[in-house]
Structure 1
Amino acid sequence: MLDRPRNHEPIPWRHSVISTPLYTAATVYTGGLALGVMEDLGATLPLGWMGLGSAAGVITASASRFVRAKGQNGWRRWYHTGFTAVWTSATYTWLNWTAHGSPWTFAAASIVAGAAATFTPLYAVDRWLRQDIIAAQWADEVSQVPRGVSGQWHQLLLDVGAQGVEVGRPRDTRSGYALPLLLTQTTFEGLLGLLPLLETRHGDLRTGALQLRRSPSGKASEAVLFVATRDVLSETAPLPEDVHPLSIREPLTLGLLESGEPLEILFRQNSIFIAGKKGSGKSVFLHVIIAAITRCTDAVIWMIDLAQGNTAKRWLRPWAEGWKDRHGDLIDRPILDWVATDHEEAVRLLNASLAVGDGRARRMKGGKIRPSAKVPALIVISDENPDLMAVNPGAVQTKTRSVKKGRKAAVDFVDTGQRGTGPNTGGGEINSQYDTVIGMKFREKAEGQFVFSGFYNQVDLSKLPGNGSMYILDEARLKEGGIGPERAKGHFVNDDDEDDDGKQLDDIEQLAVDRWAIRPDLDPESQRDADEYGYADRWSAERTAWLAEALGLETAAHVSATGDKTAGQPRTAATATSRPPALPDLDDYINRHKDWKPGQPQAVEQQPEQEEETDPALQEAIAAAVREAERIAEAAVPPQTRRHPRRDEVTQWVRDSGDDGITVAQVRERLQALYPGDTPPSDTAVQKWFAEHEHITKPKRGLYVWAEKEDS
């Protein structure tokens, strides 16, 4: 790993007892051939002067060796001198002989080979007698710390107490340089703890500029120190303008690591959680994620956006308003396949995702699904996830099952929240399923323990510089030798809807325009699985009223009633000043625009009139009356015969647990997490429920499993 000789010889090519005599013999023979060529070409060689020069060379080499061996015992000193005199005499004799005769004979080559074989053991003795001198020379060379970057870090490591760390030659990286290290005394963990002190000692480095990683070789004695001289986290990394198709099976680039390397995340078989306070850059990062996934030819996005659809509506606007792309083609479908902006729709979407995963699992022959354009991956993105998980038990149950069961069926999740605690994510079961965790800026360092519980001392989310900076903990990188959360900067895309002068911006919308035709449709089988939960009419006027209101569009029901002939048409100069177009129903919109050409009139099919909606206040009054009647009826039942309201739900948990089963302690823990205001049933009560149920068995102590009874 380090660029230095592995023995004590300071001159690199003088390493081996065998190779050195062979190298010398080859050099001498080549010199003789050169003299032979000159003679064959008719050159007159000064043989007398060559003889005198040879004698002088032998005397000079012998005297020099005698002087350099001054520190050794008398007989050793004379051996070194004699050995030098003998081999230099043999060399000069050969050269003078070739000037008289011819080196182009087998006999001449045999003489040189014989001489090499003779001098090899003599050279071995010479080296053995000089081993102390060689070791001293190497020690002196090591003590003279190499100059430059390696030398500086060698001394810094010694200064902070890192003994036995050898520094190799630096190599450039995108954010600075990397130094290979050989650890002979200080351990990897010990050196890791010295990084803050090294940054301080260096003087010119910012906090967090040093990263220590294990060597790709996997050896405990080798490591790599990354030094960042460029402050990646303080820079703005604009989202690249590339729009060429990608695959969800490959990692998608979302920014830069602090080392300057690309921040890449694999979304296939990977559940992701993103935490950060308001204003930390979560929304922008979600836009970056959507921009990457919508370039995939084998992925479909469903989105839960409980912040009034603020993230999703920008991506839907080009479709809803009838924009055209750069080729002049009408954008006739939304780039996001399903969007939920309220709890009811969100639970419906989650149930559908579970149905898709179950359906695919039934149809699989084994193994896992490989996403393709025909059977694309389903990525479920949740913005403001705590708004759903903290208050909706039905969503938590469905989400837990989906996250567990969807992995092999190409159904994966990306969730965001303002904290990393259980109520924000849906509890410990969901938390344990996240493969990649991202923490963005928080006000307090203590928040790091909720996001990266096992790396609290390595992470300070309060000191992240600027929006869009983050720590990322990726299980895949941990398996490749990572040591914990890495700092990174996400790509930036402007999500402002207007500039300082009040001019409307459409940066996000343009991303949708560039990508709308890339993404595939959900496969027909999965569509049928999801139909039970309203997939077919997900873009109906009633369920997309939020989008029509947000964009100032009229609903399809209003258009049907008024007979507006401009509904659904692309906006042109002629219609720009008229009433806004209606938000189209997806299937109807595709059919109406399928054969449309610019300049042709478009007909709008009349929709059946909608039934008049009931007064919301009246609906609420009726619901309150029903709840009160249920409460009175329940109170009338004697306590000894009253059924616990959570009993059926707990029974379902046993069924959902499959072969793994569930314990009473796990039941009570989940009840406390989902219903913090309720008094959980006692252990005895839960055990009694299980004992009385015909399908629940107890294969071993404390564990309850669902078992279907065979027909008799």
Structure 2
Amino acid sequence: MVATKTKPPADWSLTHGPIGGAVNGFLALAALGAAAHAVDIDAWLPAAGTAVSAVGSILHSLDRGAHTPTLLYRLCCALSAGSWLTYTAATTPWTSGAFYALGLGALAAGVLAPWFRIKEPATGAGRTVRAAVVPRRVAQVAADWEQRILAVTRVRVEITDVRTWDSKAGYTLTGLLPLDGTTRQILAGASDQLAAAARLPDGCGVEVAKGPHRGSFVMHVMTVNRLTEDVDWHGDLSARDIHDPAWLGEHRDSSPMTVPLREESVILIGQKGSGKTTLLHGLIWESARCFNGLTAVIDVNGGSLAQPWLHPWLEGETARPAIDWVAADLDEALEMTRILVEMAIDRKTSYRHLKVQHNLSLLPLSADLPSYQLLVDEGGELMSTTSRDPIKNEIRDNIEELLRIGRDAGFNTIISALRAVQDMVSPDVVKQSKVKIGMYCDDEAELAYLFGWNKGADPDELAGPGTGFYRVPGSTVRPFKGGNLRHGDIARAAVTIANNRPDLDAAGIAVGGDFYRDRLQRMRETFSGKAQVALPTQRPRAPQPPAPAEQPTPPARAGGPQLTVLRGGAASWPDPSEIAAAAAAGPVFAGDYDLGTGQGETLTAEQVHDAAPVPELLIQALDVIGEDRRIHSVALARALRLEQAELADLLGALGVRTLPNPFERGGERLRGYERQHLQDAAEAIRRGELQVPPEVADWPAA
């Protein structure tokens, strides 16, 4: 078979190099001038065409990324040609001067063309054609980053867009990856090297995120350390939906930093002075102002985090607090976590029909069925896996169970701790908490424990207190600056939130029972000492037997134990050896010794016992316990109108401590006191073996 040669098609295109372009321009203008003269058109038409051509030349040059000299060259060519055509239309082109001028202009344009041409991007193997046109103002930035990425990662990318941030603190690059299967993770892993290659200032970095599709990427480049600037809190108190992300601060490009609270649990790590407390207040603000959300706080260090939010309520400005429930001690925290777990379990059956009605996989939340956000401050004390305190361990178990089962029912957890170490926060809590926030910290290992290794959490990118890293599901680790929230703003917000927030649903109140319904009274007593309900003007006293009639001092019984009371100073007392020798011979009487007038007094053992009465605290405590063997410290403190801490201090001064393990009473499992221990202390006082401290002796009976 003989191969036949095909003749290539004819090329009718006009070459448009420097010489060809000048010749083509000369001939075209000459033809237009002759045609305009032949039909006798008005001169204003070529003039108008010149203006349009000049504007089009500028726009086309900008679109092609032309530099300023090239733009001026092309503009001069358009204006010169249009001016010649306008002149010949007004006069005549058939003069030697007109053709000389046209020829000189074409020659000058052809000679200068090589120095002012627009350079087209090179194409070749392994390089894709640009999918989008990059404007001139960013063409150089795109070209520089293409070369920089190639030099650092050996990946040839195509930058298709450059967007400058409104804050003027940086820009965002959008690009295409090569068709060889390279992923954006290659660029993300080299973000520090790219920042160094770009000579970015200290504190500035590069973040690589997802692009429009798998073969693209988005790169955020910071050129000004925006994290050093203060970010004001938004101050918005309008009711928001718990399903919407919560605003907590800003990114380096001034875009909002938000976290989801409906389904995702939060873990927040921050050392002292890192801005963790301010961010916790922000989380309370955002969760409490939801029209379908309630907030509870556990802070066993006296409830200091919640007190600014309770202040208007404690001062009588609102009828209820902005925070639904606060636990400031272990006993309250233990009962709170038990009840919240029971509420979460109950919702799965009590409101099952709502899922069917709304055709949803998650329980629909509303003002009648609000979400419940449990915020645990200083969680390292409660969440530590090394604690041997049974109460703390049970609280930790309850919180972890709520973290596992609460998502569907709308019960969420926000846990904070001072350090990201396994002794304070277990790996299970870190893994289950999808929203991770790490405040300013100079220990890269702790950030690595929180976010995972090689996730880009470099402490050098932060700018001190108030800054940190965070990660939400589906996103990379990003630095942020938290909003600056002040206590005055909190007090103002607490009034609005308290008046607008929802109440717990009826099923939840039924599960909580009296302990939940009485929480406000306990909170008021804890934080102000003022009971919410009217209290008796006098504490109940144990019934006192009638005072016996005064009896003469009974005579000393022969053979009974006799005690000699020695008066005066120690110098006047007899030698103890003498008393021992006399006691061996028979009863000892004061008259046997020269003690001086009024120095000796013989008393019976019963009279000595009566001289050391049992303090009112023990009398009332034993009366409250009655015939029961044990009593919870919560119940005993409530009956004696004392705070639990105050009761523990008073009884502790007598050597009475709570039992190490909790026990059941009235369907509740709490720690408390053993009746026998109180009785032992009372007997020791009666026998004179235990000295009653002044604070116990002065404890008021009414």
Aligned-residue RMSD, C-alpha: 3.6
- 1:389 aligns with 383
What is the DSSP-based 3-state SS (H/G/I as helix, E as strand, rest coil) of the residue aligned with 2:374?
strand
Structure 1 position 46, deviation (Å)? 5.7
- 2:526 aligns with 546
- Asked whether the equivalents of residues 213 and 224 of structure 1 are also in contact (C-alpha less than 8 Å), the reply is yes
1:250, 1:615 → 2: CA distance? 45
Match of 2:144 among 146, 152, 155: 152
2:172, 2:154 → 1: CA distance? 18
Structure 1 position 277, deviation (Å)? 0.8
Cα offsets for 1:564-601 (capped at 9, x unmatched): xxxxxxxxxxxxxxxxxxxxxxxxxxxxxxxxxxxxxx
- Asked whether the equivalents of residues 149 and 156 of structure 2 are also in contact (C-alpha less than 8 Å), the reply is no
- 1:412 aligns with 412
TM-score using structure 1 length: 0.54
- Asked whether the equivalents of residues 419 and 451 of structure 1 are also in contact (C-alpha less than 8 Å), the reply is no
- 1:192 aligns with 188
1:46, 1:489 → 2: CA distance? 71
Structure 1 position 147, deviation (Å)? 4.5
Cα offsets for 1:172-228 (capped at 9, x unmatched): 3345221122222665233333332332232244444211112122x23x1111112
- Asked whether the equivalents of residues 196 and 207 of structure 1 are also in contact (C-alpha less than 8 Å), the reply is no
- 2:517 aligns with 536
Structure 1 position 370, deviation (Å)? 1.2
2:120, 2:455 → 1: CA distance? 44
Structure 1 position 615, deviation (Å)? 5.8
Match of 1:494 among 486, 496, 520: 486
Q: Identity of counterpart residues, as a percentage?
A: 25
Residues 370, 173 of structure 1: alpha-carbon distance in 2 compared, 3 angstrom cutoff: farther
Residues 236, 626 of structure 1: alpha-carbon distance in 2 compared, 3 angstrom cutoff: closer
1:224, 1:256 → 2: CA distance? 18
1:386, 1:617 → 2: CA distance? 25
What is the DSSP-based 3-state SS (H/G/I as helix, E as strand, rest coil) of the residue aligned with 2:147?
helix
Residues 521, 200 of structure 1: alpha-carbon distance in 2 compared, 3 angstrom cutoff: same
- 1:139 aligns with 122
- Asked whether the equivalents of residues 176 and 229 of structure 1 are also in contact (C-alpha less than 8 Å), the reply is yes
Residues 155, 507 of structure 1: alpha-carbon distance in 2 compared, 3 angstrom cutoff: same
What is the DSSP-based 3-state SS (H/G/I as helix, E as strand, rest coil) of the residue aligned with 1:432?
helix
The count of aligned residue pairs is 425
Match of 1:267 among 261, 264, 278: 261
Cα offsets for 1:311-350 (capped at 9, x unmatched): 1011001011022xxxxxxx21111010001111011111
Structure 1 position 356, deviation (Å)? 0.9
1:277, 1:514 → 2: CA distance? 31
Residues 455, 260 of structure 1: alpha-carbon distance in 2 compared, 3 angstrom cutoff: farther
What is the DSSP-based 3-state SS (H/G/I as helix, E as strand, rest coil) of the residue aligned with 1:200?
helix
Larger of the two Rg values belongs to structure:
2
Cα offsets for 1:433-452 (capped at 9, x unmatched): 21111111223222123212
- 1:292 aligns with 286
Residues 315, 137 of structure 1: alpha-carbon distance in 2 compared, 3 angstrom cutoff: closer
2:453, 2:313 → 1: CA distance? 44
- 1:340 aligns with 327
- 2:468 aligns with 470
Residues 205, 516 of structure 1: alpha-carbon distance in 2 compared, 3 angstrom cutoff: same
Cα offsets for 1:273-329 (capped at 9, x unmatched): 001111111110011111112221000011101231111011001011022xxxxxx
2:229, 2:121 → 1: CA distance? 45
2:650, 2:203 → 1: CA distance? 61
2:340, 2:141 → 1: CA distance? 55
1:204, 1:319 → 2: CA distance? 50
- Asked whether the equivalents of residues 400 and 430 of structure 1 are also in contact (C-alpha less than 8 Å), the reply is yes
- 1:169 aligns with 161
Correspondence 1:178 to 2:172: yes
- 1:431 aligns with 430
What is the DSSP-based 3-state SS (H/G/I as helix, E as strand, rest coil) of the residue aligned with 2:499?
coil
1:494 alignment partner AA:
R
What is the DSSP-based 3-state SS (H/G/I as helix, E as strand, rest coil) of the residue aligned with 1:170?
strand
Structure 1 position 232, deviation (Å)? 2.8
2:315, 2:649 → 1: CA distance? 33
1:223 alignment partner AA:
F
- 2:373 aligns with 379
2:458, 2:192 → 1: CA distance? 13
1:149, 1:394 → 2: CA distance? 58
Structure 1 position 515, deviation (Å)? 2.5
1:140, 1:557 → 2: CA distance? 83
- Asked whether the equivalents of residues 191 and 205 of structure 2 are also in contact (C-alpha less than 8 Å), the reply is no
Structure 1 position 261, deviation (Å)? 1.9
1:356, 1:155 → 2: CA distance? 59
2:337, 2:456 → 1: CA distance? 35
Q: How does 1:636-675 map to 2 (within 5 A)?
A: none
- 1:240 aligns with 234
1:339, 1:259 → 2: CA distance? 37
2:333 alignment partner AA:
A
- Asked whether the equivalents of residues 205 and 461 of structure 2 are also in contact (C-alpha less than 8 Å), the reply is no
1:389, 1:158 → 2: CA distance? 47
Match of 1:361 among 348, 363, 372: 348
Residues 138, 244 of structure 1: alpha-carbon distance in 2 compared, 3 angstrom cutoff: closer
1:615, 1:160 → 2: CA distance? 67
1:284 alignment partner AA:
T
1:202, 1:284 → 2: CA distance? 34
1:424 alignment partner AA:
M
What is the DSSP-based 3-state SS (H/G/I as helix, E as strand, rest coil) of the residue aligned with 1:415?
strand
Residues 237, 615 of structure 1: alpha-carbon distance in 2 compared, 3 angstrom cutoff: closer
2:658, 2:220 → 1: CA distance? 67
2:225, 2:266 → 1: CA distance? 26
- 2:402 aligns with 402
- Asked whether the equivalents of residues 291 and 366 of structure 2 are also in contact (C-alpha less than 8 Å), the reply is yes
- Asked whether the equivalents of residues 420 and 451 of structure 1 are also in contact (C-alpha less than 8 Å), the reply is yes
1:439 alignment partner AA:
G
- 2:4 aligns with none
- 2:675 aligns with none
- 1:508 aligns with 490
1:612, 1:180 → 2: CA distance? 67
Correspondence 1:561 to 2:537: yes
Correspondence 1:309 to 2:303: yes
Correspondence 1:520 to 2:502: yes
- Asked whether the equivalents of residues 441 and 469 of structure 1 are also in contact (C-alpha less than 8 Å), the reply is yes
Cα offsets for 1:663-687 (capped at 9, x unmatched): xxxxxxxxxxxxxxxxxxxxxxxxx
Cα offsets for 1:5-51 (capped at 9, x unmatched): xxxxxxxxx9xxxxxxxxxxxxxxxxxxxx9xx9xxxx99369xxxx
1:255, 1:487 → 2: CA distance? 10
- 1:639 aligns with none
1:617, 1:288 → 2: CA distance? 35
What is the DSSP-based 3-state SS (H/G/I as helix, E as strand, rest coil) of the residue aligned with 1:239?
coil
Residues 205, 248 of structure 1: alpha-carbon distance in 2 compared, 3 angstrom cutoff: same
2:460, 2:152 → 1: CA distance? 27
- Asked whether the equivalents of residues 441 and 459 of structure 2 are also in contact (C-alpha less than 8 Å), the reply is yes
- Asked whether the equivalents of residues 378 and 417 of structure 2 are also in contact (C-alpha less than 8 Å), the reply is yes
Residues 625, 615 of structure 1: alpha-carbon distance in 2 compared, 3 angstrom cutoff: closer
Structure 1 position 421, deviation (Å)? 3.0
- Asked whether the equivalents of residues 447 and 461 of structure 1 are also in contact (C-alpha less than 8 Å), the reply is no
Cα offsets for 1:462-502 (capped at 9, x unmatched): 75212121111211xx2xxx3x311111111124xxxxxxx
1:515, 1:626 → 2: CA distance? 40
1:239, 1:137 → 2: CA distance? 48
1:527 alignment partner AA:
I
